[in-house]
Structure 1
Amino acid sequence: MTSMPEKPSPRISEGVRDTAVQRLQEAYAEGHISHEEMDERLHRALTAKAHSELESALASLPAQDAGTTSTIAAAGGRIHRRGAWRVSRHLKVESAFGRVNLDLSQAVLEHPVVDIELQLGTGRARITVPRDATVDVEGLNTGWKDLDYKPGRHSRPGGPTIRISGVMGFGKLRIRHARRGPDTDR
């Protein structure tokens, strides 16, 4: 009896490979694996042809918690995040009177979709998203001021999706795409 040939495994997408590399780098930064082990696992992840090979590179790493919500809050004053800061899957931003400035252009986005919930009273807010991001503002309720957002010309499939929801009271929200990609020197 002859056996049927196995179906070839589907190709590993760059997004899946990038996520695996990020998980390995985080595991190293958090002390779960040694430098030598990270190098060896990165090599396996970057050269993997099948999903099983990629999974073996991630074996024994701590599980990711996709349901975490982080909250950034200030009654008055400023909320300012920029550079290589880690953005959770769900981010809640609360400010009664201050200014909010979230720059996601160089942030570590571990998930293909990031939900940002704004609960803002007065004051201005500015969100800078990665150049290739897609922005969804359907769930946002603006009070007195209009939203200032023009979709980016460089949005493309594969970039992150940033969904912004919540309530803006008397302030103005301005959303802009980064002028340069995260790998470009400024």
Structure 2
Amino acid sequence: MSASRQAPDPEIAQIAAALDRIGMRRPPGSGSPGRRDGAPGHGPHGAGHGDPHGHGRGGRRHPHGLGDGAGEGGTGRRGAMGARRMLHAIVHTEQPRSITDLGHAIGVDQPRASRLVQSLADAGLVRRIPDPSDGRRVVIEATRAGRSRFEAHVEARAAEVAAAAEALTVAERAELARLLAKLADAWPA
């Protein structure tokens, strides 16, 4: 977060983080047979809702800086959401992970995970490095630009939540933060 920006209330940050944690997860096998990655119309968000947050409609640039999916492992909302989920998984891992592991983490198959990682690498947001435990493999880590891009997304999400949360009382915001964190903890990984 930039020094010129004020840190959001703890409840706002907790609500935003919980929404992102929920939005970045897809249960294993959420796509239908014959579909490798849960194309729009399948999975937990129903027909045509490839992005649970409603971002990226109509091919517009995503307000959080991850694009409309062109060049990011797909096109439109599905590609942008896949790129966001993949970058989220990479940034939040304790140590670099393989493409296959990252694919499992976000609920896509290995070919789709590979395309997402390649698109993020092409954008300079991630890089492949030798696996410290097995030099024959590579693992993926976020670059400084990738971490900055993700932090920009976090700031934008917090601003959206803060604007929406103005309709709530202080007690309601605290209760919402508590319940969303509990829901995110219980959400299928």
> How would you bin the TM-score normalised by the shorter chain?
under 0.3
- Greater relative contact order structure (CA < 8 Å, 6+ sep): 2
Which structure has the highest strand share of the two?
1
Which structure has the highest helix share of the two?
2
Query: TM-score scaled to structure 1, two decimals?
Result: 0.21
Bigger CA radius of gyration: 1
Query: TM-score scaled to structure 2, two decimals?
Result: 0.21
